[in-house]
Structure 1
Amino acid sequence: MRVFLSDQAIAQLVQEDVPFLDLTTYGLGIGQESGVIEFSTRHPMTVCATEEAKKVFEYCGAKVEYLVESGTHIPAQQLIFKATGLAEALHIGWRVGLNLMEYASGIASRTKALVDAAKTVNPQIAVVTTRKCFPGTRMISMKSILAGGASPHRLGLSETVLIFKQHLIFIDTIAGIIERINQLRQRFPEQKICIEVETVEDAWMVAQAGVDLIQFDKIPTSELTALVQQLKQQYPTLKLAAAGGINLENVKNYASTGVDILVTSCTYFGKPADIGAKMTRI
């Protein structure tokens, strides 16, 4: 799995950690010694960002001998990455590459756990993740959730038409939004029209207006199950999504409501994966 992380972005990651030189390696006079660095899993995980780590080490002047492809779920104590080169290159690439793999693999592993849990209840359900990742990390975050089996909810504001309650501040009511749906369809004939609602009443109102997708925000599962069943009976082509606080503890409950899509941000936040690094002189 590959995403486009430019050479400039790789250089910026390295230069952030090494603005001038590796002072310790230089001071010890070991920079021209040859070595090998190996990264291994310390617990079961879904591996991610090994391809970006490869670009980091190659930028530093090392040669990558082996890597496990992103999206691979493997047990503990397994080799996932190996590079050879001068000590100077290995020490510069070490932490940058490790950070990428640990943070991305943490997200990928949490995503896989969430997706697997949801699909035990509803094999057809889709899990999608929001834009609420840490600023500046969206590219790696998107790769990580893909590696874990989810999909992006929307990659940016330019991608989809999704109307939130914040839009209503400037249009007053749901009824006012409905009046503009035909205008939206004329302007963007290839785009689906999606609206987020917080009440059962608003859900019926926008369904009658002919939207393509309704996203329920923080509606309890006890209310959602009956509502989803009724809406699907009356509007069989309407897609339904649940959002708001969905996590590993409640994902099965939301998956059991019958919605088509689960929208979450929880996979971005948590501990990085624990990956061990071993360096050897050769």
Structure 2
Amino acid sequence: MDLSPLPEIMVEPIVRAALLEDLGRAGDITSDAIVPAHYSTGMDLVVRQHGVVAGLDCARLAFHLMDPSIAFRPVLADGASVVPGAVIAQVEGPGRGLLTAERTALNLMCHLSGIATATAGLVQAVAGHKAQIVCTRKTTPGLRALEKHAVRAGGGSNHRFGLDDAVLVKDNHIAIAGSVGEAVARVRAHAGHMVKIEVEVDTLAQLDELLGLGVDAVLLDNMTPDLLAQAVTMVSGRMITEASGRVNLESAPAIAASGVDLISVGWLTHSAPILDIGLDAA
């Protein structure tokens, strides 16, 4: 997988804030008391479950910000599949810095690797169909760029990053506007010509109204696989079709078999279980 890393200027403030939160007002009083100031050692970041790795740059920055003399040597890269016992990276340097940065590095890596692992599972579940697995804006505040990068590490793709990079007309917008057509008309009068428009529909009747409006994509919300298949037939390639709602490892294959282009999954970023990773003495 050719996965470009996020620019460090995007990642560093997040890692710095996490370290500062952990250091509090007095720093690591436990390590300062127990570990001699000039004690150095080496440790390994070791995975304890099958999964997919993400967040290596976060771990590297956590150690580097804590003590620039700590050497961080990655063994694997984001997007790598791992088995229990695999060494992800090696760190070496002052013991105090290693132990102080440990929790921040692991918190971020475990969380992001969990997202990558969950994404990879869904991608595998829909293999053989054209549907792509995409994430949503249901992200942890402050971590959106990292979490969406982790989805890509797991083989998924990203939906819009925020409210400003695409229009998504949802049920409350339609209720306020009075109809699908009126909502789209208001968007077209307001948005620039480069902005793509997607509209959420709950019924085939709403979809039928939408078909004549020439929008870019339709979000088919909480439809059964049978209804999704009917919707895909109605659309007949005139716009991108996206399914959402009740997506898990068991339901994903049937949803993908309906012929939709995208399957969006909110829990990938807000509820994926962590991948267990530890920092062990080398």
Provide structure 1 residue ranges, at least 5 long, that are not aligned to the other structure.
none
Alpha-carbon distance in structure 1 between the residues aligned to 2:281 and 2:260: 49
- Equivalent residue, structure 1, for 2:144: 138
- Equivalent residue, structure 2, for 1:16: 21
- Equivalent residue, structure 1, for 2:249: 248
Structure 1 runs, 4 residues or longer, greater than 6 Å off: none
Q: Find the partner of 2:5 among 2, 5, 13.
A: 2
Q: Shift of residue 270 of structure 1?
A: 3.1
Aligned residues: CA RMSD: 1.7
Report the 3-state secondary structure (helix = DSSP H, G, I; strand = E; otherwise coil) of the residue aligned with 1:94: helix
Provide structure 2 residue ranges, at least 5 long, that are not aligned to the other structure.
none
**What does residue range 63-74 of structure 1 map to in structure 2 within 5 Å?**
63-74=71-82
Please list the CA deviations of residues 58-103 of structure 1 after superposition, one character each: whole Å capped at 9, or x if unmatched: 1111111334211111222111011111111111111111111111
**Does 2:120 correspond to 1:112?**
yes
Report the 3-state secondary structure (helix = DSSP H, G, I; strand = E; otherwise coil) of the residue aligned with 1:170: helix
Does structure 2 retain, via aligned residues, the 8 Å contact 1:51–1:69? no
Does structure 2 retain, via aligned residues, the 8 Å contact 1:130–1:152? yes
Relative to structure 1, is the Cα distance of residues 170 and 28 closer, same or farther in structure 2, using a 3 angstrom cutoff?
same
Q: Shift of residue 119 of structure 1?
A: 2.0
Relative to structure 1, is the Cα distance of residues 275 and 171 closer, same or farther in structure 2, using a 3 angstrom cutoff?
same
Q: What TM-score comes out, normalization by structure 2 length?
A: 0.91
Relative to structure 1, is the Cα distance of residues 179 and 57 closer, same or farther in structure 2, using a 3 angstrom cutoff?
closer
Alpha-carbon distance in structure 2 between the residues aligned to 1:42 and 1:254: 32
Alpha-carbon distance in structure 1 between the residues aligned to 2:184 and 2:19: 50
Alpha-carbon distance in structure 2 between the residues aligned to 1:43 and 1:111: 15
**What does residue range 49-68 of structure 1 map to in structure 2 within 5 Å?**
49-61=55-67, 62-68=70-76
Alpha-carbon distance in structure 2 between the residues aligned to 1:43 and 1:136: 27
- Equivalent residue, structure 1, for 2:280: 278
Report the 3-state secondary structure (helix = DSSP H, G, I; strand = E; otherwise coil) of the residue aligned with 2:177: coil
Alpha-carbon distance in structure 2 between the residues aligned to 1:150 and 1:238: 21
Q: Find the partner of 1:158 among 164, 174, 196.
A: 164
Report the 3-state secondary structure (helix = DSSP H, G, I; strand = E; otherwise coil) of the residue aligned with 1:91: helix
Q: Give the AA of the match of 1:251.
A: A
Q: Find the partner of 1:227 among 212, 227, 231.
A: 231
Identity %: 25
Please list the CA deviations of residues 93-136 of structure 1 after superposition, one character each: whole Å capped at 9, or x if unmatched: 1111111111110110000010111123x0x2221110112222
Does structure 1 retain, via aligned residues, the 8 Å contact 2:181–2:213? no
Q: Shift of residue 230 of structure 1?
A: 3.0
Report the 3-state secondary structure (helix = DSSP H, G, I; strand = E; otherwise coil) of the residue aligned with 1:70: coil
Relative to structure 1, is the Cα distance of residues 125 and 188 closer, same or farther in structure 2, using a 3 angstrom cutoff?
same
Alpha-carbon distance in structure 1 between the residues aligned to 2:170 and 2:178: 12
Q: What TM-score comes out, normalization by structure 1 length?
A: 0.91
Relative to structure 1, is the Cα distance of residues 76 and 219 closer, same or farther in structure 2, using a 3 angstrom cutoff?
same
Alpha-carbon distance in structure 1 between the residues aligned to 2:117 and 2:234: 35
Q: Give the AA of the match of 2:215.
A: V
**Does 2:195 correspond to 1:194?**
no
